[in-house]
Structure 1
């Protein structure tokens, strides 16, 4: 259940635009000259996003020969190298969103990237429009890139988490099995609740366009590597390590972050971490696989000699 971001919508970009116009950055006069055009265009944004099945109209700065006027470079520059006031706003949108997973894909962790829903490379007029800038993980920003509309499927590739709540109904399940001594992962993606066929198709296209199942498998392998590393460190120190309890605590931590009540039974989870550790803990084969990795090293390391702390900066 990826979190929707409808609370971030402003339906008004005048404040952000004003920060650019009132700055001393080169190009501020160009923004002021085009202020009325930009504000008028901002009013078109809702229709452009909501009419996901229609190819959006071209940028107001696109010339008949297919190139762009000089305003494009100015607007993109105000996003890439913003003046101080606008930079603070971008940082606030990027960092202060209270998200614990990516709203596009559900990857655990705080999204640390701010990127455009309608690519600024095609629609530079929305380069600093608030409702076009979405907090997301780096993987989604890279995968989404400058893609927006699929001509073959006659629809937008992605779902805008500020405009629709469909992705908040998506949940994740992971199954694990040991094949030839290696753990294999199979992600399953659920839709919790009812949805009409149009929404179902859009969610499926969103998932396929971002290649979310592949990302989940990669995440599982990274988690596995971290667990093996912890086991190896315990082995090297000949230290006791309650592996299952360790995983149970990680699951509980993720459940708290996701707001899942203790003891609540779920068939799917809001992020990949919950799904991963739930699957691990509830599979005796997987638990036994990890337990088999514990051993005493043939040559126990010599104990470290304590050293006196040295003050580097008095």
Structure 2
């Protein structure tokens, strides 16, 4: 999970100018509401920061289709900015959940269907993985708990203050691993902030998704070791060495690798699956050919 303050776009928002400067047939309708959109953008940080307050209903119902269209069928100049935000962010993990895959879609943190005024506001568009997208969807507020369900990684560093810990318990009777997921706090957070992070994790179903990831990754290593003889500890340590130690546990893969390395029984079992070493036949040069 990651803090994305570098993606914060300063106001006034230049994307409105890109949208209103196009030649779409309905651009005049957008121009007519552009000043009010800019005013709404100036209120955005306060809305997502006051996460215990439910958002008021949109006043842009009459312009919903127009505003959503400018996101889904954006004019060329605006589309370049959208593609850049979606693909050129340099992230190797999902900032919402820690999935160790490059985020390749954009989340409308405040959903565009209910609040279309933020459809093309860059600070409302957060790079996200395909696993989070269908879960978060149009969800924003939990009435039962009177709080927003998710933490905005552009406006809050809260998610970055925690790391995942994966404990691998090996069932020697059935030769199978059992994965337990917990959080490690690496920077100060108050009790209410701890609860917010856990709330966020529960609503994105991150625990279940991590366990599934661990099971699949374990099966991949098991399959590789059954076919090729190599030292799993060296392979895992090599992968960890590619990531700064302070970042271990920010994503699922490094947490899984660390957990597996900490369980000798699991490593020994996987090593027992390796094929016996085979003496490679000695090759003798029969003839040397020249290449013209």
Structure 2 length-normalised TM: 0.88
* Partner of residue 188, structure 1: 182
Cα displacement (A) at 1:84: 1.3
Aligned with 1:43: secondary structure? helix
Cα displacement (A) at 1:11: 4.1
Which runs of 5 or more residues in structure 2 are unaligned? 277-292
Selected match of 1:287 from 244, 262, 267: 267
Q: Note the aligned Cα RMSD (angstroms).
A: 1.9
* Partner of residue 311, structure 1: none
Cα displacement (A) at 1:13: 5.5
Aligned with 2:56: secondary structure? coil
* Partner of residue 283, structure 2: none
* Partner of residue 78, structure 1: 70
Does 2:157 match 1:165?
A: yes
* Partner of residue 249, structure 1: 238
Selected match of 1:120 from 112, 135, 140: 112
Q: What is the CA–CA distance in structure 2 between the aligned matches of 1:249 and 1:103, rounded to whole Å?
A: 24
* Partner of residue 166, structure 2: 174
Aligned with 1:55: secondary structure? coil
Cα displacement (A) at 1:288: 1.1
Selected match of 1:228 from 214, 222, 231: 222
Cα displacement (A) at 1:186: 0.8
Q: What is the CA–CA distance in structure 1 between the aligned matches of 2:190 and 2:183, rounded to whole Å?
A: 17
Aligned with 1:33: secondary structure? helix
- CA deviations over 1:265-292 (Å, ceiling 9, x no partner): x9x7222111111121221101011112
Selected match of 2:139 from 147, 154, 172: 147
Residues 92 and 101, structure 2, Cα contact 8 Å, conserved in 1: yes
Does 2:61 match 1:101?
A: no
Residues 227 and 274, structure 2, Cα contact 8 Å, conserved in 1: no
Aligned pairs, number: 275
Deviates more, 1:183-192 or 1:6-15: 6-15
- CA deviations over 1:165-203 (Å, ceiling 9, x no partner): 111101011111223222111111122232222212211
Which runs of 5 or more residues in structure 1 are unaligned? 62-67, 235-239, 297-314
- CA deviations over 1:53-82 (Å, ceiling 9, x no partner): 111121121xxxxxx32x111111111121
Cα displacement (A) at 1:246: 1.7
1:13–1:28: structure 2 CA closer, same or farther, 3 Å change rule? farther
* Partner of residue 56, structure 1: 55
* Partner of residue 210, structure 1: 204
Cα displacement (A) at 1:27: 2.6
Q: What is the CA–CA distance in structure 2 between the aligned matches of 1:58 and 1:115, rounded to whole Å?
A: 20
* Partner of residue 133, structure 1: 125
Residues 174 and 187, structure 1, Cα contact 8 Å, conserved in 2: yes
